[in-house]
Amino acid sequence: MSKARLLRDRIAGRGLAHVMAAHSPLSAILAEEAGFDGLWASGFELSALYGLPDVSLISMSQHLDMVRAMAEQSSLPIIADIDTGFGNAINVIHAIREYERAGVAAVVIEDKTFPKVTSLVADGRQDLLRIEEFQGKIRAAVATRSDPDFLVIARTEALIARLGEAEALKRAAAYEAAGADMILIHSKQKTPDEVESFVRAWSGKIPVVIVPTAYPEMNEARIRALGKIAIVIYGNHAIRASVTAMQDVFARIIADRGIHNIDKDIVSVEEIFRLQKMAQVKADEKAFLA
Ligand code: SPV
Ligand code: MG
């Protein structure tokens, strides 16, 4: 069964898929062990991993390399964040071929101009593509996929660009008409109101995807009460959790002038061996080293 079919089945079976951001094979392994339904190959997280802002600096091949490495270590379906699709509809055609070959279940393409500016930054420059041009990108993606289950998710940044709900609804409807399988509506309002209002007003047939980073009180109960939402993406909590942990431990080692206090508060080396599947190496040594 393809990963795309798996993701569709999970959504159908559970009503809502919980998808965790990942920026490395290790974070993908941890997300799967924790029990998430899928992985979000986040452009923001990968940019941050390289110490770079999320403004179209990471190349498609850098992102693809990481997606492939994550896919090798996790059986979860991956939703690839392909930003603006790396250019126009021609670039989208190439990207869909590559990402489908890499084994991802879905892509999210956003209606900003290239190069994009990260969505959650205060007063970010947020320029949107003409609707017709973005429809062309969605049509190109849908026409290019070889697995009909492969999900093409159209993301509108109309609320992020402060163009209002009417523009967001108009764009979402246009993207559905172009063949999108789902609409990702993004918002950086501190409360769920803006997204809740959009979802209530949404009269399309395709479901909605949300990324409630800015409005964290939007929990599962509130999402299910709204209906229409198929996927919730926890957009940057893997990289933020890593930063929290490293800042804390690094500061304590400096303050303590040694590792004597923190040792009991972090995972053991054996736990890293487990995640690396070191036991298998030992078994292989027994079996094959003569
Ligand atoms: C990402 O995680 O790369 C996203 C979500 O696109 S956000 O950073 O909130 O735009
Ligand atoms: Mg992104």
pLDDT tens figures, 165-187: 999 999 999 999 999 999 999 99
**Residue nearest (by alpha carbon) to ligand 1 atom 8:** 44
Q: At what angle do helices 165-177 and 131-144 cross, to 10 degrees?
A: 30
pLDDT tens figures, 126-178: 999 999 999 999 999 999 999 999 999 999 999 999 999 999 999 999 999 99
Q: Is the CB of 120 under 6 A from ligand 1?
A: yes
Q: How far apart are CA 223 and CA 129, in angstroms?
A: 29
Atom of ligand 1 nearest to the CA of 160: 10
Residue 3 C-alpha from the chain's centroid: 15
Q: Is the CB of 42 under 6 A from ligand 1?
A: yes
Tokens 């990968």 correspond to what residue? 46
Residue 150 neighbours by CB distance under 10 Å: 24
pLDDT tens figures, 182-204: 999 999 999 999 999 999 999 99
- Residue 228 burial (10 A CB sphere; 0-12, 13-18, 19+): middle
Q: Is the CB of 212 under 6 A from ligand 1?
A: no
**Residue nearest (by alpha carbon) to ligand 1 atom 5:** 235
pLDDT tens figures, 210-265: 999 999 999 999 999 999 999 999 999 999 999 999 999 999 999 999 999 999 99
What average pLDDT does range 44-55 have in this prediction? 98
> Cis omega (within 30 of 0) on the bond before 216?
no
Helix (H, G, I), strand (E, B) or coil at 79: strand
Question: What pLDDT, on a 0 to 100 scale, did the predictor assign at position 227?
Answer: 94
Question: What pLDDT, on a 0 to 100 scale, did the predictor assign at position 117?
Answer: 97
Annotation marks residue 181 as catalytic: no
Atom of ligand 1 nearest to the CA of 120: 9
Question: What pLDDT, on a 0 to 100 scale, did the predictor assign at position 208?
Answer: 98
Q: What is the 3-state secondary structure (H, E, C) of 246-279?
A: HHHHHHHHHHHCCCCCHHHHCCCHHHHHHHCCHH
Q: Is the CB of 119 under 6 A from ligand 1?
A: yes
